[in-house]
Structure formats: C-alpha cells, structure tokens
Amino acid sequence: MSTAQRIAFLGLGVMGAPMAGHLARAGHRVTAYNRTVSRAQGWLDRHRGEGLDVATAATPAQAAAGQDVVITCVGNDDDLAEVVLGEAGALAAMREGALFIDHTTVSPQIARRIAEEAASRGVDALDAPVSGGQAGAENGKLAIMCGGSAQAMERARPVMQAYGARMVHIGQAGAGQATKAVNQICIAGTLAGLSEGVRFAQAAGLDMARVLEAISGGAAQSWQMENRWATMAAGEFDFGFAIDWMRKDLAIALAEARQNGFELPVTELVDGYYGKVQAEGGGRLDTSALIRHLGERSRA
C-alpha cells in the first residue's frame, strides 16, 4: 500500500464514487466534493459506516485546500473547467508542490491548458482518463492512460494503484486524452462489427452460444465479444457506459482528427448510428445497444 496522503476527490458519479472509496480503503484521507450534495452525503455516510477517514466539502476549492493530491472525475470539458479553473475551482486553492490528476475523458486541449496553469502554480498535473467502465471502477481494475511529466506520473502511480490495474505513461500533457480517443475509436468499430455479426448469426438461425464458443478463441475475439455477445443477442443493455457518454467521447475524437487534418470515416458512421439510437430514447443504454439500430435496418 502507498503512503497515506490527504486527497480531494471531485466528482462522485458511477466511476468516481467507487474510485474515491478505493482510495479511502487504501488508507488515504479522502475529502470528496460533488455538485449534487445528496450524492456526496450518501457517499460519506456509506464510507464512514466502514470506519474510513472521509469527509466532504461544499466547493472544489474547499476540498482542495491543503491537500497533497486533488483528483477529478467529472462529465466534460465545461465541468472540468468549472471545478478546476472556476471561481470556486480547485487549482487556485491547491498548495505549491501538490499533485493534480484528472480522470475525466475530455479534450487534449483542456488537458494542456490545465497543465500549463498548474505548472505556473508549482503543481504537477496528469491527464489520466480511464477505461474499464463501471465494473472496472467498482473492482479496482481500471486501465489508465496518462499524459504529463515523468515526475507527475511517478508521483501519481502509487495513488492510482488503489483502482488501476494497468497504468501507462504515454507522453506529455494531452497524450493521455488523445490515447483515450484512440480507445473509443477502436471500441466503436469493434461494436459495429460485433452488432452485425450477432444479427447475421440470428438471421442464419445459428446456435448463438456455440457460435460464440467457436469464434471467441480465434482472431475475432475481443473484450466486447466475450462480455457483450450474449447480452446483445438477448437485448440486454444495462451495463453502465451510456451511449450519451460514448457520443461525447467520439465527438472529442472527431474534433481532434479534424484539427489534425485526419479523417475517421468508420467512426463518423458509427457515431451517426449512435445518434439514431439516442434520438429514439436510447441515450442512457449501454453502448452495445448499437445493435438496436442495425436490427431495425435488417427488418426494414
């Protein structure tokens, strides 16, 4: 276990709440902030009930004051700017020599902006988006892709071990966020192919379990296949990572690609399919609900 530190954790959503809990169980003193006060109070009550050293604060600045580490896991660029750089934001309250870690999936641009602001205040900053979904957060098995200085990464690693199974330093500020865009591009393409494969197998009248057994040990194998094939075939889509969030992430990837003069035709196509599912009221369904659109197309 890493040496106990004083940590502020800002954002107690489906990812942040379990991550903050893992930090408290690892022996750190965790002060949490969440925009919805009732969620923060519920988190506090649960973890105090476990006898852990936890507290809450009314603003990001109050949570961050005097802490060794400040961690964020919020919604998007605007949310992150508000809790870090806003009027009651964390950065202005952080002490010189503290460490800032952001686990939100945001644009590389805001990651670089925060890193510059942090450096001017003597704070090390790491953009460190995660992959693994709600289950990964709850089980402490997240994959974390990191951008920032080698010093920031070295300092952050023992903290992130509380909830990370794999932590890779990609490069300088913004590199973690750019890598998360790569991650989402790959997932989107994989889910599109998997959706068509499931529908094709159903149309052919095949035994779905035997098809999975046959192909999951070969070149078609993927995490999505092993974890979503059966549930996609059964029409079950309640697994935590919503289409709304995926579209936010794909928008970041598409914008970054345009800025780099690069085209992402498959990603654009899949994003459009997700938009159709979203328009039909499926925005809160798991990303594997992409198959709903493909199913409608096959019956048209």
Looking at the structure, do residues 64 and 132 belong to the same domain, yes or no? Answer: yes
Domain assignment present for 167: yes
- End-of-domain residue from the set 125, 153, 172: 172
- pLDDT > 70 fraction of the chain, expressed in percent and rounded: 97
Token digits of residue 4: 């106990």
pLDDT of residue 1: 44
Nearest to 2 by CA among 132, 133, 146, 167: 167
Directed axis angle between helix 37-49 and helix 16-25, to 10°?
30
User: Would 191 be classed as within a structural domain?
Assistant: yes
pLDDT digits (tens, 9 = 90+) for 234-288: 999 998 789 999 999 999 999 999 999 999 999 999 999 999 999 999 999 999 9
pLDDT at 57: 98
Q: How confident is the model at residue 99, as a pLDDT?
A: 98
Q: What percent of the chain has pLDDT over 90?
A: 94
pLDDT tens-digit readout, 85-128: 999 999 999 999 999 999 999 999 999 999 999 999 999 999 99
Amino acid 297: pLDDT: 52
The overall average pLDDT reported for the chain is: 95
Residues 20 and 156 in one domain: yes
pLDDT for res 254: 97
Within this chain, do residues 21 and 142 fall inside the same structural domain, yes or no? yes
Q: What is the CATH number of the domain that holds 141?
A: 3.40.50.720
From 6-10, 23-27, 257-261, 290-294, the region with the lowest mean pLDDT: 290-294
Q: Is residue 28 part of a domain?
A: yes
Residue 300: pLDDT above 80? no
Annotation says 248 is catalytic:
no
Domain count, the chain: 2
| Domain span including residue 109 | 6-172
pLDDT band at 205 (very low <50, low <70, confident <90, very high): very high
Domain boundary among 147, 172, 197: 172
For residue 296, what pLDDT band results from cuts at 50, 70 and 90? low
pLDDT recorded at residue 175: 98
Same domain, 225 and 270: yes
Question: In terms of domains, do 50 and 188 share one?
Answer: no
Specify whether 100 is located in the same domain as 219. Answer: no
Give the model confidence (pLDDT) of 43-94 as tens digits.
999 999 999 999 999 999 999 999 999 999 999 999 999 999 999 999 999 9
Tens of pLDDT, residue by residue over 166-196, are: 999 999 999 999 999 999 999 999 999 999 9
